[in-house]
Amino acid sequence: MEKFILHQKTYDFVLWLYPIINRLPKNHRQILGTKLEEEGLSLLVSLINANNARGAERDSFQKLSSNELDLLRILLRLTKDLHLMSVKQYLLGSEKLNEIGRMLNCWMRKGK
């Protein structure tokens, strides 16, 4: 059940992220916005793949998800540091990513 909550939290984060990406200046939207979008969707896909996999393959997808989550954190911070999102938006996004990270880490520990 927790895995499905993890999927929903990740889906909600991606849904929250899209309007922010769409408000980025065009020159940043084409590179940074695209990367944020790709990594958010990639995280969601890798979590779904991990849920459907077994054994070592599941571990591999979970590690991939963790790496994608770290990259999303960095991209979100870069967006804030470039003043392309407000500090309030950054804090909300970081809180969402931290919750996803806690859930993912718990899931990874349960599998070992």
Predicted TM-score of the model (pTM): 0.90
Q: Is 75 helix (H, G, I), strand (E, B) or coil?
A: helix
Domain spans, the chain: 2-110
Q: Which two tokens stand for residue 56?
A: 């070592």
Which CATH number is correct for 2-110, 2.60.120.10, 1.10.3720.10, 1.20.1440.60, 1.10.10.60? 1.20.1440.60
For the four alpha carbons of 59, 64, 67 and 69, in that order, the dihedral sign comes to negative
Mean pLDDT, consecutive 10-residue stretches, the chain (112 aa), reads: 81 97 94 96 94 89 95 97 97 97 91 62
- Residue 38 and residue 86: Cα distance in Å, rounded? 21
Nearest to 53 by CA among 63, 38, 66: 63
Return the pLDDT at 2.
Answer: 57
Burial category of 66 from C-beta neighbours within 10 Å (exposed 0-12, middle 13-18, buried 19 and up): middle
The pLDDT score that the predictor gives to residue 53 is: 87
Q: How many CB atoms lie within 10 A of CB 105?
A: 13
